């Protein structure tokens, strides 16, 4: 998120001391990400940490939980995959995931570096990414360590329908920039409906493919520049392991299919690149539709700071344009 959570900082610092034994004097808000509020903090020895606060409904995936952390632990400690953050710290509760007021909380070692979206990734970095995905997909986790199994998002159609119904029959009065946003969705609606129908067709095929799960692998789910850090030693770290899945490898690889160096390194790391076109198409459609649902739901149905709303509107309009759902000249001003 780009605006801070509505919290009283000192109370949160006191809670961190009681729950994690950390004596911290200051929280530095990090305006980044879409599904959590992030803060940098240091203990009395100068050791930096990343504090993540999340809440249900910000994004479609559920907040991080102990099951997903078991998968992270296995990848990091058992398989030695260290181009990812170490697992979150345990609190006095004995749990890695704790709760403060309405928020789900995890505390992680801070990864210093430059977000990939603010840097130029050279070919060597692309190769690092491919090799990293190959190692992750090759890791054979014990069933108790696996993250949740892919269910092909049965809730997506209902959430998207709710959004599109709001376009036709608004249930409340909206500010001007909301109305402009609704007008854009109205223009995009026919194409969105067409892509949803195709997604539903593919979803039915995949959910009834009895042999598909035999090829599932551990997937990060979103290995995009927003979740990559270029560290001072010139290596990539894949962050934000809140929602890994046991899923078709295409779930991750749709983001590197046009990246020849990454795919070459993926193959060298033992990754299978004989991908199924219908699964690739399914996940590309899902990426397009899920972003509409997540941003649109926050914009229309959640009470947010005006600056956060404006950010979400601009991000979604850019997504609609990039997905070919609205022409570049069809985007409104949001001021």
Check: CB of residue 224 under 8 Å from CB of residue 291.
Answer: no
Q: State residue 107 phi and psi, 5-degree precision.
A: -125, 125
What's the rounded mean pLDDT across residues 110-123?
A: 94
327-334, long-range: CB within 8 Å, 24+ apart, which pairs? 330/184, 330/187, 331/184, 332/177, 332/180, 332/181, 332/183, 332/184, 333/180, 334/177, 334/180, 334/181, 334/310
What's the rounded mean pLDDT across residues 304-316?
A: 89
Tell me what pLDDT residue 94 has.
96
What's the rounded mean pLDDT across residues 262-282?
A: 90
**312 CB-near residues (< 8 Å, 6+ apart):** 295, 298, 299, 304
Rg of the chain over all Cα atoms, to the nearest angstrom: 20
Tell me what pLDDT residue 34 has.
86
User: Which of 61-76 are b and which e, b meaning 16 or more Cβ less than 10 Å from the residue's Cβ?
Assistant: bebbbeebbbbbebbb
Tell me what pLDDT residue 239 has.
97
Q: Is the pTM of this model over 0.85?
A: yes
Q: State residue 75 phi and psi, 5-degree precision.
A: -60, -45
pLDDT in tens, 56-104: 878 888 789 999 999 999 999 999 999 999 999 999 999 999 999 999 9
Task: Pick 302 or 193 by higher pLDDT.
Answer: 193
pLDDT in tens, 16-44: 999 999 999 889 999 998 889 999 999 99
pLDDT in tens, 131-183: 999 999 999 999 999 999 999 989 999 999 999 999 888 888 887 778 888 88
3-state secondary structure of 75: helix
| Secondary structure letter of residue 208 according to DSSP | T
Check: CB of residue 207 under 8 Å from CB of residue 123.
Answer: no
| Secondary structure letter of residue 203 according to DSSP | H
d(CA 170, CA 181): 12
Query: What is the residue-averaged pLDDT of the chain?
Result: 92
- Which stretch of DSSP H or E encloses residue 134? helix 123-138
Written as six digits, the tokens of 229 are: 């850090």
Check: CB of residue 272 under 8 Å from CB of residue 241.
Answer: no
pLDDT-based confidence at 332, cuts 50/70/90? low
Residue 321 has pLDDT above 80, yes or no: yes
Q: Report percent pLDDT > 70 for the chain.
A: 97
Check: CB of residue 321 under 8 Å from CB of residue 17.
Answer: no
């Amino acid at each position: 998120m780009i605006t801070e959570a509505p919290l009283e900082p000192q109370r949160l610092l006191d809670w961190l001391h009681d729950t994690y034994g950390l004596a911290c004097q200051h929280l530095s808000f990090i305006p980044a990400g879409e599904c959590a509020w992030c803060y940098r903090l240091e203990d009395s020895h100068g050791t930096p940490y990343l504090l993540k606060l999340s809440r249900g409904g910000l994004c479609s995936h559920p907040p991080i939980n102990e099951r997903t952390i078991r998968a992270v632990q296995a990848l990091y400690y058992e398989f030695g995959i260290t181009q990812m953050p170490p697992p979150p710290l345990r609190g006095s509760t004995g749990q890695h995931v704790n709760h403060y007021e309405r928020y789900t909380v995890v505390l992680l070692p801070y990864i210093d570096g430059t977000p990939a979206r603010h840097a130029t990734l050279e070919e060597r970095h692309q190769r690092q990414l491919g090799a990293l995905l190959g190692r992750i997909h090759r890791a054979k986790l014990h069933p108790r360590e696996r993250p949740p199994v892919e269910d092909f998002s049965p809730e997506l159609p209902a959430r998207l329908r709710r959004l599109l119904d709001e376009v036709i029959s608004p249930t409340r009065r909206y500010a001007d920039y909301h109305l402009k946003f609704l007008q854009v969705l109205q223009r995009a609606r026919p194409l969105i409906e067409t892509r949803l129908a195709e997604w539903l067709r593919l979803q039915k095929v995949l959910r009834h493919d009895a042999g598909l799960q035999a090829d599932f692998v551990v997937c990060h789910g979103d290995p995009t520049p927003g979740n990559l850090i270029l560290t001072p030693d010139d290596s990539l770290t894949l962050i934000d392991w809140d929602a890994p899945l046991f899923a078709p490898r295409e779930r991750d690889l749709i983001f590197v299919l046009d990246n020849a160096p990454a795919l070459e390194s993926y193959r060298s790391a033992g990754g299978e690149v004989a991908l199924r076109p219908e699964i690739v198409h399914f996940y590309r459609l899902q990426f397009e539709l899920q972003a509409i649902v997540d941003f649109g739901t926050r914009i229309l149905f959640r009470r947010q700071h005006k600056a956060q709303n404006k950010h979400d509107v601009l991000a979604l309009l850019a997504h609609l344009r990039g997905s070919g759902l609205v022409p570049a000249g069809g985007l409104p001003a949001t001021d």
